[in-house]
Structure 1
Amino acid sequence: MGDEVNIFGKDLTHEQLAERTGDLSAVAGIRQVVLDNGVERGVRAIDLRTAAGLELEVLVDRAFDLGSARFKGVPLGWRSGNGFRHPGLHEHNDEGGLSWLRALDGLLVSGGLDHTLFGGDVDATRYNYPPKQSVNHGLHGRLTAIPARLLEAREVPSVDGGSPVLRVVGEVIQATSFGEHLRLTRTIELDFDGREIRLHDVVDNLGFEPTPHMFLYHINFGWPFVDEGTEFVAPVASHLWASDSAADQGVSYRTLPAPQKGFVEQVFEHELVAGPDGDHRVALIAADGSLGVEVSWAASGMPHFFEWQNLRSGQYAIGLEPSTHHVGGDGAAREDGSMTFLEHGESREYRTRIRVLTGASETDAVREAIRAIGSQPE
């Protein structure tokens, strides 16, 4: 039947499932919580659980980003040790603009909305406020430390008669007097019996001055999805840039080593080939092919991509980073004319999927599908 869901290996209609439990949250559901200890105290979060074993934490007070994630109890999202710090503890310009690193934790940390990548002073005369001739940005902008307004958190019927959907929607406003007034509306969906996370983001300009817009997803995976021998698979047309550490350390961008003491982060900008559907696709696949994760997104919104390797002992992570702009960042984008400026009421739209892969048949199929799009240089 079209409205069946797969629950612990059995195909049941929604009605048949309801006959078997007085509360569907025993199987899958949404729960709103408030974290209440240490640096996380006071942070609102939403826990989503699917019948397939996918668990996801949405951090309402951290720009509606994604915190902890697990599949059948196995951690998926990376945990840095920072914790999901309350935004009131964040100092945007502290540590020479690098204080964002103290907020870097979880499956998704978004950069933006008017700035990403490394910081510095940029022109602000477009806002017509004489005392503010320039604005200073820190690493990856201000978005991360802005609480969201929760708009929706509920189970909704599928439009095609399939599995019901767990949906949460939030709104984040980045605004200042005599400056930017941007809004991010984020929708996160998981199928009731699914193992895929779908993000739909819309950024629009509520202000009346042309406003710069940059956006980046820092999608972070940790052990055991990242381990010795893990393979990074992508249709790479060319390598546009690599950090100096990549040449100095000689660690491959394709196959990962075990954790290394004192490892210096490596960053690569890869030029990817989009598939026939207009999406970019990349994957991390375990050495034995037993598990993996695929990330796909609309190339039209985020045409650029970075691979972040943080393989240091005690940190050990890979970041897959779709981006609106090249690694050169804000200043370079203004100089070469590639900076996005949104007029009043103008918007940009972004769609992304994060899918857990299980078993060699699935990981092999994803590898083959990516290879069909494009090859990958050694």
Structure 2
Amino acid sequence: MRFHVGAGPELQLDLGSALDIGSCRIDGIELSPGRAVPDDGDPRILHAVGGFLFTCGPDHIRHPEPIAGSGGRKYPLHGSMAATKAEVIAHNIVEKSEEIIARVTVRMAQGGEAEILRTWRMDGATGEVMLVDRLTNIGSQPFPPMLMYHMNIGAHLFDDDTKLKGSMFENGEIGWMFGDEDMHVFCVPAEAEAGDEFARLVLGPIEAIGGKYLNVRFATDTIPYLQMWRNQASPAHVLGIEPVSHPWKTRAELESEGLMPTLAPGEFMTYRLSFAFQ
């Protein structure tokens, strides 16, 4: 589904997979990594990770772990949301802005159901793209909600001048080729900027798109961590910016530290992020 207005990026939203973002083009240049991603053996994720943004959760966000009391079954890689069809319930274009609202109903691995009311907005004047997800427990049992947003960019677009900047990084800045080995991952707390509800990071300059920077903002009330991932192990060549609800620990560790509060039937939580190329 095409999503584009004014100065915003040219996006394709994936109706077959939670209305996540597949293609993302700036001035005709593709930003998503496409096939330059690892294959972890799950076709849902292989499809999703090649796009510019896909969503992990709402029941699990990282690699498979056992489901308690299930007799050995495991949560699927990155949760149950990927490959779930989206139902568009509103599509509005007003002057230089566009809005798409969709409903995604997810049957979770441990039982129960969740509904994600997903709202995409694009400001054609500024080029900013905004996402608001309202996650509601529509099942009959509580569950601990977990969400992570993978923003994946083809790293062949970067050079030695491309940096990541944000208060969550040591000294406020790191090179995009962080870590000593391919497939490097780290996860750090993200603090909102003074007087704001959102943490902010910047990637750039990206000379392939005219020296523009990718500006990412996410609300830390429900997304208080930032995970970063890069993988240059051939055929992969990708950088992942991953705002996330939980630190990089096992489910057992999170539960023992009181970091897995549950969402009761009928309760909801709201997650917000935005990005722009400027």
2:59 pairs with 1:109: no
Q: CA deviation at 1:329?
A: 3.7
Mapped to 2, the partners of 1:209 and 1:145 lie a distance apart of 23
Contact 1:118 1:140 (C-alpha < 8 Å) held by counterparts = yes
Partner residue, 1:233: 165
Shift of 1:264: 2.4
Does the alignment pair 1:197 with 2:118? no
- Residue 296 of structure 1: how far off its partner (Å): 0.3
Displacement of 1:148: 1.1
Matches for 1:138-217 after TM superposition, within 5 Å: 138-156=76-94, 163-175=95-107, 179-217=111-149
Which secondary structure state, in structure 1, belongs to the residue aligned with residue 6 of structure 2? coil
| 2:227 corresponds to 1:283 | no
| Partner secondary structure for residue 302 of structure 1 | coil
Would the aligned equivalents of 1:171 and 1:184 in 2 still touch at CA under 8 Å? Answer: yes
Cα distance in structure 2, aligned partners of 1:227 and 1:314 = 18
SS in 1 for 2:82: helix
Matches within 5 A, 1:111-130: 111-124=56-69
Conserved 8 A contact 1:207-1:344:
yes
Change (3 A) 1:191 1:178: closer
Deviation (angstroms), 1:176: 5.9
Q: Does 1:346 align with 2:267?
A: yes
SS of the residue corresponding to residue 144 of structure 1 reads coil
**Correspondent of 2:185 among 249, 267, 273:** 267
> How far did residue 192 of structure 1 move?
3.3
Which protein shows a greater Rg? 1
Q: Which residue of 2 aligns with 1:324?
A: 245
Give 1:113 deviation, angstroms. 0.9
Q: TM-score, normalised by structure 2?
A: 0.87
DSSP 3-state at the match of 2:140: coil
Q: Secondary structure of the equivalent of 1:341?
A: coil
Contact 1:238/1:270 (<8 A) preserved: no
SS in 2 for 1:309: strand
Tell me if 1:355 matches 2:273: no
Does the CA-based 8 Å contact 1:154-1:166 persist in structure 2?
yes
In 1, the alpha carbon distance for the partners of 2:108 and 2:115 equals 12
Aligned partner letter, 2:140: F
- Contact in 1 for aligned 2:24/2:30 (Cα 8 Å): yes
Of 282, 285, 297, the residue aligned with 2:218 is 297
Structure 1's consecutive aligned runs of 4 or more residues displaced over 6 angstroms after TM superposition are 94-99
What CA deviation, in whole Å up to 9, does each residue of 1:46-94 have, x standing for no partner?
1022222620111011111011011121223332357xxxxxxxxxxx9
Give the 3-state SS of the residue equivalent to 1:333 in structure 2. helix
Question: For residues 337 and 302 of structure 1, what CA distance do their matches in structure 2 show?
Answer: 16
Match of residue 174 from structure 2: 254
In structure 1, C-alpha distance between the alignment counterparts of 2:182 and 2:44, rounded to whole Å = 18
- For 1:337 and 1:354, how far apart are their aligned partners in 2? 31
Deviation, 1:207, is 1.3
Cα distance in 1 for residues equivalent to 2:72 and 2:235:
38
Aligned-pair identity (%): 25
The residue type equivalent to 2:51 in the other structure is G
Stretches of structure 2 that go unaligned for 5 or more consecutive residues are: none
5+ residue gaps, structure 1? 1-45, 83-93, 125-131, 157-162, 240-252, 358-378
Number of aligned residue pairs: give it.
Answer: 272
More helix by share: 1
Q: In the alignment, is the contact (CA less than 8 A) between 2:117 and 2:134 conserved in 1?
A: yes
Deviation at 1:173, TM superposition (A): 0.9
- Quickly say closer, same or farther: Cα 1:284–1:237, change in 2 above 3 A: closer
Structure 1 residues 313 and 134: alpha-carbon distance in aligned structure 2, compared to 1, 3 A threshold = closer
Residue 209 of structure 1: SS of its match in structure 2? coil
Contact 1:66/1:107 (CA < 8 Å) preserved in 2?
A: yes
State the 1:255 CA deviation.
1.4
Q: After superposition, give the CA deviation of every residue in 1:245-297 in whole Å (9 maximum; x if it has no partner).
A: xxxxxxxx82135xx9xx62111112333202021101101277921101101
CA distance in 1, matches of 2:157, 2:121: 22
Deviation at 1:115, TM superposition (A): 0.7
Structure 1 residues 321 and 55, CA gap change in structure 2 (3 angstroms): same
